[in-house]
Amino acid sequence: MTRQIKTGIVIFGFIVAFLLLHLTKILYPLEEFIRYALSPLGSVSTKIGTFVSRESRQMTENSESLDQIDELQRQLQHLSVDYVQLHALKEENEVLKRKLGFVEQQGYEAVVANVISRSVQPERSFFMIDRGSKNGLEIGMAVIFGDGIYIGKITKIYERTAIVTLTTDPSSRVAISLVGQNRLIGLVEGRGNGTALATLIPQEENIKVNDVLVTSGTEEKIPPNLVVGLINQIYVESTDPFKEANIEPVVQTAYLNIVAVLLPKALKPE
């Protein structure tokens, strides 16, 4: 028997054994341990990649205008969040005035996580974070950046890591509302390549360019009033009962290294 045939038998044996043990979940603890052990270096390599990406962007564009864009983007993020918070506070205040015995809404804790890896295909938008079910995370929880910019939700969970599907991924759907309205007006669907579209917005809904879209709070684990994006173009078809709008994200997810997962306080691990 030649060396190659022996090697082939060993490889096939390994593949079959690994698949069987994986499918029967016998290897699950070991797999979780390996994933956990690999994640710190994954976070470092992602940071290096993001750094190279930023530097490359700065080299290709005029650095001065880039700084201005970054500064304006930061201001936009803060203003959007402030605007939403202000509206939310105003509304909350009115409700409190109206209603005695008001029960304060369940609060959320933020679990900070590092990005370990990102999807390679440009049309898909996923990333893996270094927090998982052991940290109290669950599928469907909202992932945010900064004070309240919604960037996606958890779609797959392991013990110590989780996969986040970003708003721009074609499989992503999130219920939206206009700031201060607290009612569902449509959905934001990912379109790939960093773009998203607000769909199923009724024709009678009054939306304008530069309106801030926020989460509606109708999804179980996603709180209301998280900024999803700004409307930058509206498509109206007179024969269609719904209109659509292009969404401009307020944060560039390609450069994020640290994010936060919103965890209802009731689910906080011991």
Partner 1 sequence: MRTSSYFTVFSMALMLGYYEGSMLGSLPGYFIFFRPVLPFLIFCFLLNRSQAAYLVAGISGFVVDFISATPSGFITARWLLVALIIDFVQNYVITNKSLYGSWLMAVIARIADGILTIMIYIVFNFIWGGLFIIEPVIFQIPILFVDLIVISILFLSVSLLTKRFLTFIPFEKNRYGS
Binding part of the chain for partner 1, among 111-119, 174-182, 224-232, 244-252 by CB under 8 A, reads 111-119
* Binding flag, residue 231, partner 1 (CB under 8 A): no
Q: Which two tokens stand for residue 150?
A: 């919604």
**Interatomic CA distance for residues 138 and 160, integer angstroms:** 11
* Binding flag, residue 41, partner 1 (CB under 8 A): yes
* Binding flag, residue 239, partner 1 (CB under 8 A): no
SS3 label, residue 29: helix
Give 24 or 121: the residue with its C-beta nearer to partner 1. 121
Tell me how far CA of residue 71 lies from CA of 67, 80, 223, 251, in angstroms.
6, 14, 28, 12
* Binding flag, residue 63, partner 1 (CB under 8 A): no
Burial of 133 (0-12, 13-18, 19+ CB in 10 A): middle
Amino acid (one-letter) located at 159: E
* Binding flag, residue 50, partner 1 (CB under 8 A): yes
Report in angstroms how near the CB of residue 62 gets to partner 1 at its nearest: 17
Site for partner 1 in 128-157 (CB under 8 A): 128
* Binding flag, residue 57, partner 1 (CB under 8 A): yes
Of positions 13, 17, 18, 67, contacts partner 1 by CB under 8 A: 18
**Phi, psi dihedral angles at 215 (to 5 degrees):** -65, 145
* Binding flag, residue 49, partner 1 (CB under 8 A): yes
**Interatomic CA distance for residues 174 and 188, integer angstroms:** 5
Report in angstroms how near the CB of residue 9 gets to partner 1 at its nearest: 10
Total residues contacting partner 1 by CB under 8 A comes to: 41
Query: Are residues 156 and 140 in contact, defined by beta-carbon separation less than 8 angstroms?
Result: no
Of positions 13, 122, 140, 202, contacts partner 1 by CB under 8 A: 122
Binding part of the chain for partner 1, among 37-45, 73-81, 221-229, 231-239 by CB under 8 A, reads 37-45
Please name the residues in contact with 153: beta carbons below 8 A apart, sequence gap of 6 or more. 140, 141, 142, 143, 164, 165, 172, 174, 221, 222
**Interatomic CA distance for residues 42 and 127, integer angstroms:** 12
* Binding flag, residue 121, partner 1 (CB under 8 A): yes
- Name the site residues for partner 1 (rule: CB under 8 A): 3-4, 7-8, 11, 14-15, 18-19, 31, 34-35, 38-39, 41-42, 45-50, 52-53, 56-57, 115-122, 124, 126-128, 161, 163, 254
